[in-house]
Amino acid sequence: MIVYVPATVAEAAALRDGGTLPDRRGSAVTPALLAAAGFTPKDAEDAGYTALTHAGVQALLLGLDESSGERRLLLAADADRAKDLDDPYGAVEVTGLTWDRVWALYLDEPEAAAAVRQAAAAVRPGEPVAEAIGRPEVGALLDDHDLLWYDPTEVDRLS
């Protein structure tokens, strides 16, 4: 299963260096997400983007980290041990993620820092994605700024 998991730049570097990522909630294209969004199997690309977006909201709920420079980082990975939480936002619990399973990194564009800061201040840590995604500051971030794709070998360039 392809999962999108929020992490800090420091966590990603430690994972690359053989460390472990704490068990974490991420997002994936799950049957519940497909049903809630009205996607069909032909909509794989749109469903993947939706899962990535929801994981980006989960990153806000974790809080900002100095190593990420007030930007959200998401690891895209093939996860063998992701538990589907049967959530319409594609929530999954990811355990045992190793660096060799990470195939892409997504980081906010530098110009998004102020919008990320405002969106993070508008949410309550641990609140459901369903509540956070409806906040105007979160909507503005999602509408106005993109997550940029990086190859995992570029992790040291992200800080």
Q: Residue 84: what pLDDT? A: 97
Confidence of residue 41 (pLDDT cuts 50, 70, 90): confident
Token pair of 6 as six digits: 């929020």
The residue segments making up the domain with residue 124 are 2-153
In angstroms, what is the C-alpha Rg of the chain?
14
13 is a domain residue:
yes
71 and 112 in contact (C-beta within 8 Å)? yes
Total count of residues recorded for the chain = 159
Mean residue pLDDT across the chain: 93
34 is a domain residue:
yes
Number of domains in the chain: 1
Distance, CA of 3 to CA of 48 (rounded, Å): 9
159 is a domain residue:
no
158 is a domain residue:
no
12 is a domain residue:
yes
101 is a domain residue:
yes
Give the helix/strand (H/E) hosting 67.
none
Confidence of residue 30 (pLDDT cuts 50, 70, 90): very high
Q: Which are the contacts of 94, defined by CB distance < 8 A and separation ≥ 6?
A: 3, 5, 21, 23, 24, 25, 26, 77, 79, 81, 82
Query: Which SS3 state, helix, strand or coil, does residue 71 take?
Result: coil
Mean pLDDT within 73-102: 95
Alpha helices in 63-135 (DSSP H): 113-122, 129-132
> 62, 54, 71: which is closest to 21 by C-alpha?
62
Q: Residue 62: what pLDDT? A: 87
117 is a domain residue:
yes
pLDDT in tens, 134-151: 999 999 999 999 999 999
